[in-house]
A and B are shown apart, each in its own frame.
Chain A
Amino acid sequence: MNRLPRINLNLVAVLLALLALLAPLQSALAHKPSDSYLAISAKGAAISGQWDIALRDLEYAIGLDADGNGEITWGEVKAKHADIASYALARLAVRAGDSACPLRATAHLIDEHSDGAYAVLRFEGECARAPDALDIRYGLFFDFDSQHKGLLRLESEAGTLSGIFAADRSEQRFELHKRSALEQFLNFGHEGVWHIWKGFDHVLFLLSLLLPAVLVFRRQRWEQVQDFRPAFWDVVRVVTSFTIAHSITLSLAALQIIWLPSRLVESTIAFSVLLAALNNIRPVVEGRRWMMAFAFGLIHGFGFASVLTDLGLPRDSLLLALVGFNLGVEAGQLVIVSVFLPLAFMLRSTPLYRRGLMHGGSLLIALVALIWMLERIFDLRIITLR
């Protein structure tokens, strides 16, 4: 007779505990004046953006709480998506010089800010040409809330600008200073350096090919080279082949002469890392690693090209960007090599190098590359670090 009530009590306790967990979430919302958060990104002539607008303000403006119970549900918001988009976008005008850049809604989401839930409106637009300056007119909610503000973050080639729209400052101009040719060149160079440093797959491919440079494979095992000179020239051969090869395909792809599907490119890059690492454990192309560097360098070039296109290529200075980015990649590569070579040469006779790095390290690289390859072929997510 005792059991049943006890179970019920536990259930009640669990429910109470759940309620207690939920309660602070509900009441911890801040009271603050009304703001909307507007992020706009201008890339060439294309405009894209995200606009976070408080549900509470939208409720006041167009009415969301259809059943009038004081709670706004996702269903109620969804039913008003078209109204939200037309209400909001009618109150935001982006112009480039004398021509408008019409905006259209592309997605509706939800986000939490310190004072409650916000409708997230994503949008896109197109200007007639890449603008030198954007004139933005913001008119959301000023008609019924004189303290409302629109907090803008504008990202463009010129960097990040911010602005605050208020009832008495509803129209503002943002100069998107075009960078000088030198600034653009340096900027793309910088991106190139960072890309090679952060693109672990390129670094691992290169390192796998360079690890044996201070060794020779004799009598079924790796032995150290006596002289620095052969090691140095081996490195030069590998790096130069890799550079020439990826420069060729990077240029061809960036100039849109040839194109390969990115999944194929990415998977093959992973495959190249796997092969290069396995070759250190059981050498197949021992003396001709520069050929391998060249062959796969061609594929890595396509990978670089996709990054370059992601950065938004300036139409008027495509060549400049291309050369800058490529030189940046080479510079980044040179730094890695100049750190690697003296260290490797110094350590080449140690067991750490020959066992630990050549075998253990290569095995680890091969394993990571295998996982990347599977991920990229089958579009999975196994490890998150890339």
Chain B
Amino acid sequence: MAHDIEMIDDLNAPVRERAAAPPAIWLLIALAMLAFVGGVLLLWNTNSTPAEGSSEVIFARDMTAHHHQAVEMALILRDRTADPDLRLFALDIMLTQQAQIGQMQGWLSVWQRPLAGATAPMAGHGAMMGMATQAEVNELRELPPVEAERRFLELMIRHHEGGLQMAQDVLAASHRPEVVRLARSIIEGQAAEVAYMRSLLAQRGIEQQNIPAPAPGGAWGNPRAPIVGVVGMGD
């Protein structure tokens, strides 16, 4: 009988040994598994950088092209005008928008997307976003300086309003903090510049008629609305 009890005791002994297996090793193994799963998820982050065709990638390319034209027009005007306010304003546009181009192309670089898309930016609908035609840009070179100043203000107001719409469209489509931050900054900055340009036109005796506001959602109903109503003798 004592023998049986001893056997029972003996059978119990290994169980106690199993239960007494060091917990530290299981913890280590669990941590290692978590670390590797976490590492895989972090590396496998293709769904956290914007893909081709996403609103963010399209915005970065389109707005870069849009800004590039603003820089072009400001450069031309600055070389032709003697008006110190306009020269300074043109410089401001150039430096700010060129820096923003750098910012957006930096995003594309970090997102590992090519700077150029497979097709032209703004899907060929630049006019709807306030882009000037090459002929209009060339006017800035060819018109007499005072005329060129007026034309610059008109073209740039229309250009800014297109940019504002592009920025509003991306705010509706994306929540990426860096994109939202820049889009808001563009909206505030360029809206203020539009007001300033209108005041400069008014000084030149030109009351600019209101451009019809774009339809919600970014659909442009009237891409080439007339933008000038000459009131006084501005030039």
Q: Are A and B bound to each other? A: no
Using a CB–CB cutoff of 8 Å, the interface residues on chain B facing chain A are none
